[in-house]
Amino acid sequence: MKFRDDQLPIMQYKGGTMAVSAVPGAGKTFITAQLVCKIIEEKLNKPGKVLVVTYMNSAVNNFKNRISHMLEERGIDSNSDYEVMTIHGLAMKVLQERPDAAGLDENFKVIDDLQKIFYLDNAVKMWRKLGGEKIYRSLLSEYGTKKYDEKSERWWKDFLQISDVLISELKLNGITPEKVEENRELLGNNSIIYILNYIYFRYEKMLNLNGYVDYNDILVLAYKALISDEDLRKKFQQKYSFVFEDECQDSNLVQCDILSIISERVGADNKKRECNLVRVGDLNQSIMGSFTSSNPIYFKQFLREADKNYVMNRAGRSTRNIMNLANSLVEYTVKNHPEKRCREALRYQKIHPIEDVEDLKNPEVDEYGIYAYSMSSWEDVKKRTIEVVKSFKSKHSDMTLAILIPFNSHVKEIAEELRKNKIECDELSSTSSERLKIINILGKILGFLGEPDSPVKFRDLMYEIIEGDNEKKNVIINNITSFKIEDIIKESVFKTTSVCKLEEIDKNIFEDFICKLRMVKDILANLNMPLQELILYIGYELKLNNEDKAILQYVASYVRHKNAENNSMTLDEISQELLDVRSSAFTHICNVIYDIRGYEPVPEKVTVTTYHKSKGLEWDCVFLLYLNNYIYPYSIKGKFRSEHYYFKDEFKNPTAIGKAEVQKLLQNDVCYNPIIKAREEVICEKIRLLYVAITRAKKYLILMAHYDENKKDCPSKYFEIIKKFICENKQSS
């Protein structure tokens, strides 16, 4: 195996701490897997194993397959010499080994996201009854007070998310409700953390009463167990001789501490020796801080302190023009960004082309390959995107193509436009049609069962479950559903001449209608079943794959919990919850189940996804849409989506204020206004997100921004800078 010059030093690793910073497309998964195999081949791990910790379940499977295949190529049968898992998987192993060391019963259970939402929601509702409603209203602005009756339902959902984020922050920093209470004076009046403390206390009480721990508890308790129990600590240190961490720019403090402890080598004299710890990542691709407790500062610190520090700065993914554009964004940010604190958003680490390995050299195209369009409206963006996609696919049918957009709602919107134009696509978002298909089907079945004489609900259901061309399907379904529902169910309408003639439009759709109709009749015949059993029976009738079965079982569990909370819940109410795309309980479980299998782009389908979900993927051609100020703010004086406009100015970012108060409780310095600091962090993360998006493209890159008079939005300053760069370099090339 021939390695590049920037990979060779990494492959010489024998032990100690090593930091590897890898630019996009440098092959960090490849080199990590190769190094793991080399350690196993040379038996450096004996008598222990090599542990690889990575971020996503799909990455776990990818690493396992790569390492297994590489070992097989070497003729080595050593699958027992390594383990790959997520950090939560590792923490669970620690707790299952010695639950008593963490103060847990051996039958402890991990709460799922569904139950967690129930418990938090219950805690918030109880707080509201005990005076929380009055406290909440005191935080509202004049506008918020005026619109409260109209919009409070949505705002309370926001508050539930704020509570979840800040309780996680408290837990991961080892701060209990009791500690918050003890420090009431330190926190002062109108403290966000103190306001939330009753919710935190009640949530913890419900977990304890029912024998649950949540995902934050798993990490914190595993860390405490390793610290307090010497035998447990030694067991894991001996079990894993080498520890590798992938995507470590997305680590949090507890994760770093757990891996540091396990990687320590302890001698016979009980004195700590070196750590065999390798951390691999890219500070410029740290884009998860908005959603998690991750922070790139921990990787920055490791880069400074590691025994060895290497940079993989060569990448063969993209054309030189695309690399130059990404590098120009780095240079502009580091040297010229007007917000001085945001100049550290990107590390000054340029991507270089591959020169020394012929098979890995950068792709080349006959044209410049990067285009930027400023459009007058979002509708014009959609129209132009479809035109360019059609043109590109007609010329390059063998190439993969992706459209990246900020929001899940836009993913669905663009996917619908593509399908209208007969362009096949895959949606990658938490609310994609494919991922939520079974949820939508079940929601429409239950909606019809709740109102079985409704022609509208019957028509919607049949349209959802019947396969085939949309236009032909529409004609057939509209004609048949013009009859009475009871005549359709009895199948008497199929004896009429007008209905029989519909078979001529499309025989397969017509026959599928009859087949699905009989399935609906069978379900109607079992309507007296308990609701949870009925849902599972519907799954049996639908003949689902394993992924959709898992989702349906989750829904059945959800309904059981709901009915325990509210026995009078109707079929129609459950249907509405299922069909609400904002329901985080369903979108999360669909993502967990579908993300396990990973995703591989194919030329036959256009990928439509959010900027965040594009990380780790690559396409021949990439469209970047909505490069506007609101999405990519340039100045702390701009508008920020992270701020809640209905709160008073001093409370409009309660998450940022709460995180600053957590630092205060930890006796860390809080240097300046947390709302300003949060704005700077958003600007920094959005710069990195743009950098990640640009580096997804291999051969072609199309960027679009637009004007929106209603939202007073316009193309981002970054778009203007990029457009200028393209004009200057296109002419010179």
Q: What is the mean pLDDT of residues 589-612?
A: 78
- Structural domains in the chain (count): 4
Residues 532, 409 within the same domain: no
Flag whether pLDDT at 392 surpasses 90. Answer: yes
Flag whether pLDDT at 584 surpasses 60. Answer: no
Flag whether pLDDT at 596 surpasses 60. Answer: no
pTM here?
0.84
DSSP 48-84: SEEEEEESSHHHHHHHHHHHHHHHHHTT---GGGEEE
Residues 174, 284 within the same domain: no
Residues 452, 565 within the same domain: yes
Q: Is 27 annotated as a binding residue?
A: yes
Where is pLDDT greater, at 583 or 711? 711
Flag whether pLDDT at 431 surpasses 80. Answer: no
pLDDT for 267 equals 62
Flag whether pLDDT at 603 surpasses 60. Answer: yes
Q: What is the mean pLDDT of residues 349-357?
A: 88
Residues 395, 251 within the same domain: no
How many whole angstroms separate alpha carbon 493 and alpha carbon 505? 17
Flag whether pLDDT at 565 surpasses 80. Answer: no
Most trustworthy range by pLDDT among 451-460, 490-499, 545-554: 451-460
Where is pLDDT greater, at 58 or 521? 521
Q: 543-558 pLDDT, tens per residue?
A: 887 778 877 887 787 7
Flag whether pLDDT at 599 surpasses 90. Answer: no
Q: Is residue 230 part of a domain?
A: yes
Nearest CA-CA partner of 219 in 117, 119, 292, 122 = 292
Residues 548, 639 within the same domain: no
Residue 301, domain CATH = 3.40.50.300
Q: Is 29 annotated as a binding residue?
A: yes
pLDDT for 730 equals 84
The CA-atom distances, in angstroms, between 490 and each of 228, 465, 528 are: 70, 19, 20
Q: Is 28 annotated as a binding residue?
A: yes
| Last residue in a domain, options 297, 312, 327 | 312
Q: 176-235 pLDDT, tens per residue?
A: 999 999 999 999 888 999 999 999 999 999 999 989 999 999 999 999 999 999 999 999
Residues 710, 626 within the same domain: yes
Q: What is the mean pLDDT of residues 691-717?
A: 94
Q: Which domain holds residue 467?
A: 436-580
How many whole angstroms separate alpha carbon 322 and alpha carbon 533? 54
Residues 198, 181 within the same domain: yes
Residues 645, 497 within the same domain: no
How many whole angstroms separate alpha carbon 381 and alpha carbon 550? 38
| Last residue in a domain, options 210, 228, 245 | 210
Element counts in the chain: helices (H) and strands (E)? 30, 16
Q: What is the mean pLDDT of residues 39-45?
A: 95
Residue 505, domain CATH = 1.10.486
pLDDT for 434 equals 63
* Confidence label for 636 from pLDDT (cuts 50, 70 and 90): very high
pLDDT for 114 equals 76
Residues 393, 456 within the same domain: no
pLDDT for 588 equals 59
Nearest CA-CA partner of 292 in 18, 597, 87 = 87
Helix (H, G, I), strand (E, B) or coil at 373: strand
Q: Is residue 492 part of a domain?
A: yes
Q: What is the mean pLDDT of residues 110-115?
A: 83
Residues 231, 282 within the same domain: yes
Residues 538, 675 within the same domain: no
Nearest CA-CA partner of 120 in 701, 584, 563 = 584
Average pLDDT score, the chain: 90
Tokens found for residue 50: 């090599």
Tokens found for residue 18: 């090593």
Q: Is residue 354 part of a domain?
A: no
Where is pLDDT greater, at 622 or 495? 622
Flag whether pLDDT at 123 surpasses 60. Answer: yes
Q: Is residue 467 part of a domain?
A: yes
How many whole angstroms separate alpha carbon 127 and alpha carbon 438? 35
Flag whether pLDDT at 593 surpasses 60. Answer: no
Flag whether pLDDT at 715 surpasses 90. Answer: yes
Q: Is residue 636 part of a domain?
A: yes
Flag whether pLDDT at 342 surpasses 60. Answer: yes
pLDDT for 530 equals 84
Q: Is residue 593 part of a domain?
A: no
* Residue carrying the six token digits 């894991």: 236
Q: Is 22 annotated as a binding residue?
A: yes
Task: Give percent of the chain above pLDDT 70.
Answer: 94
Among 205-214, 574-583, 670-679, where is mean pLDDT lowest?
574-583
pLDDT for 240 equals 96
pLDDT for 373 equals 96
How many whole angstroms separate alpha carbon 170 and alpha carbon 193? 9
Q: What is the mean pLDDT of residues 380-385?
A: 97
Where is pLDDT greater, at 355 or 145? 145
pLDDT for 482 equals 87
Q: Is residue 14 part of a domain?
A: yes
| Last residue in a domain, options 284, 312, 340 | 312
Q: Is 496 annotated as a binding residue?
A: no
DSSP 308-322: EEEEE-B--SS-HHH
Residues 505, 625 within the same domain: no
pLDDT for 553 equals 81
pLDDT for 639 equals 84
* Confidence label for 149 from pLDDT (cuts 50, 70 and 90): very high
Q: Which residues pair with 622 in a beta bridge?
A: 402, 701
Residues 375, 377, 378, 379, CA torsion sign = negative
- Phi/psi region, residue 75 (left: phi>0; alpha: psi -120 to 50; beta: rest), is left
pLDDT for 733 equals 62
Q: Is residue 319 part of a domain?
A: no
Nearest CA-CA partner of 417 in 403, 400, 406 = 403
Among 52-66, 385-399, 430-444, where is mean pLDDT lowest?
430-444
pLDDT for 567 equals 57
Flag whether pLDDT at 1 surpasses 80. Answer: no
Q: 289-312 pLDDT, tens per residue?
A: 877 778 899 999 999 999 999 999
Phi, psi angles (nearest 5°) of residue 179: -65, -35
